[in-house]
Structures are given as structure tokens and as C-alpha cells.
Amino acid sequence: MPDGAQLLSPAETVGLEHEDRKRRLARLSRDLSISPPRFYEYNIPEEELRLAGLPADIPLLRVVFDTRVFFDFDKAEMRPDSGKIVETVAASLGKEPPDVALVIAGHTDSVGTDAYNRALGLARARTVAKALVEKDLPQIRIFSVSFGEAVPIASNGSAAGRAQNRRVEFLFAAHSNAIAFWLSKQNASVCGNAQTNCRFEVTMETPERHAVSLPEKEGAAARLPETDRATATLPAPPQKQSVHPEQDQQFDDVELKEEKATAELAPKRYVIDLAEKRFEVPAPRY
């Protein structure tokens, strides 16, 4: 461990990682010649989540990039000039600890029905999520959700305003439960008068599954039942412990001995209920 570096607890690291995340996203944006994003910060109290492996308040970072046109009208494919935003987020995720969660929220303008725009917003979120998943990042948990036309950042009364509303936003936290909790506390007016419009599904995006080659032992091939071969995974590499540098890039390659409990793994799906101000973890789908 470098001289002066300090081994930190989970309660201490989440705040430092949060600050590093902001600096890194701002720096990478400048490096790629795009406007730095706007940051909105929130705090989720420890007692609201009670995560056994993460006994701390969890900061949440909402990131909104200043792009005038992220998607063309009625399209889910990113415009070419939005590719640098994906590059920026991917480069930042490559420096994150493996337990970080990212939720990508899709938004639309107000042209079209609520149901149509909900579907279009989800298609946009998934376009960006899949682009990040394909970057072969570490074990980052990336989720997508759509709010359709419900959360504009500009007036839908002009073409320029509608263009700004066709976007995605990025929500970062040390655990996806923190993001799900924050989403569940948003203004219920976004779902209108119909109770059924108040439920939003947040789903983890996963890469295409590939078979994993297991190492041979004494010349014999490893044997697995047929049902396990396609889903077998190798043990995860050792995780990096956070140190307390002034800037995030100084000690990127330092690996410290694991001495803390790991927060329980996030589920692969949430349901956000804005009417009841809570989130659910549905049973896994088979």
C-alpha cells in the first residue's frame, strides 16, 4: 500500500467514490470535448435500506448531459454526436468499484400517447444500456427504466424544448436499492390520474450469454451437467479497495486486501410504485 494511503470502511468509501465519480465524469467530458454534465445530488439514509454489507448513508448522483438532441423525433437510436456521452460514461464506469449500480432513465417529448411514450422511453434507455453493456466493463450493474413524457426538463411548446426532452439520464449509487428507493419517492403527479400508470419497472441489462471454458485438471476436461455448461462462470477477480487520493486516477492500480463485508447482490428487477411511495422486488422470472 502506498505511503499515506488509508484503508477505509464501506461507510467512508461511498462518499469518496461519489466525489471521485463527479470529478471523473467532468474530466472525461472535457477530454472528449463535450459540455460537462449537470450533477444533482441526493442522500439515502442508512435506516431506509438497512443493507447488511453497507452500513452507511448512500449518496446518489443524477447526471444530465447538456445535449440539445440526444435522439431524433420518434427514434430510439442515438444520434452520432451522442456517442461521446456513452464513451464518457463507459470510461468512468471502467474506474468504478464492481458493486456500483447505474440506472438509465429514458425520457420523451409530449407528442404521442402516454403508453406510446413510455415504450419509446424504455427503448431509448435500453439502447444506451446495451451500448454500455457491450463495452465489456467490470461487474457493473446497469438497469433501464422509462418515464416517457412525464419528466420534461424543457418546455414541450417549442421544437428546441422537445429535442432536449428526448434524452436519457444516468443515476449512480453504491447499491441499486438506493436508486430504487429514491425513484419511489418522486412526485406522484408524473403518473397522472390512472393508478395503473404509477408503476414503473426497472430491469437489469445483461450481455449475451456465452459459454465459459473451464480449465483442465491433469489432462481431463472439467465436467458439468448439460444444464450448467451454458451458465457456468469463473470466480470474480479480487476487488479493489478504495484509498483516499486527492484525485481518482492516482492509485487506480492499487489492490488492497479485502477486509469488509460486501453488500448483498442487487436483484435483477424492481417495480417502482409512485402511488404508494415504495419499491418492490418481484420474484425472479423463469
In this predicted model, what pLDDT tens digit does every residue of 13-61 receive, in sequence order?
899 999 999 999 999 999 999 988 999 999 999 999 988 888 899 999 9
Q: Please report whether residue 215 resides in a domain.
A: no
Domain count, the chain: 1
**CA dist., res. 23 & res. 40, Å (int):** 14
List the end-to-end C-alpha distance of the chain, in Å, as a whole number. 45
Query: pLDDT digit string (tens) for 97-112?
Result: 888 999 999 999 999 9
Domain assignment present for 190: yes
Q: Do 171 and 61 form a contact (C-beta atoms < 8 A)?
A: yes
| Distance of alpha carbon 49 from alpha carbon 31, whole angstroms | 36
State the CATH number of the domain containing residue 45.
3.30.1330.60
Arithmetic mean of pLDDT over the chain: 78
* Residue 3 forms part of a structural domain: no
Burial of residue 219 (CB within 10 Å: 0-12, 13-18, 19+) is exposed
Residue 73's identity, in one-letter code, is F
Mention every residue, 6+ apart, whose C-beta is less than 8 A from residue 105: 121, 125, 144, 145, 146, 147, 151, 168, 169, 170, 171
Distance CA 167, CA 134 (A): 20
1 part of a folded domain: no
d(CA 110, CA 248): 40
Measured distance CA(222)–CA(218) in Å, rounded: 10
Domain contains 4: no
What is the CB-side half-sphere exposure of residue 132 using CA atoms within 13 A? 30
pTM assigned to the model: 0.75
C-alpha cell at 80: 452520432
β-bridge mates for residue 42, sequence order: 60
Q: Is 218 a domain residue?
A: no
Report which residue type is found at 249: Q
In a domain, 226, yes or no: no
pLDDT of 206: 78
Low-confidence ranges of the chain (pLDDT < 70): 1, 138, 188-196, 208-266, 285-286
Q: Which residues of 116-151 are buried (b: 16+ CB within 10 A; e: fewer)?
A: ebbbbbbbbbbbbbbbbbeeebbebbbbbbbbbbbb
The pLDDT value recorded for residue 188 is: 62
Domain extent for 98: 10-208+234-280
Would residue 5 count as lying in a domain?
A: no
Report residue 14 as a C-alpha cell. Answer: 461511498
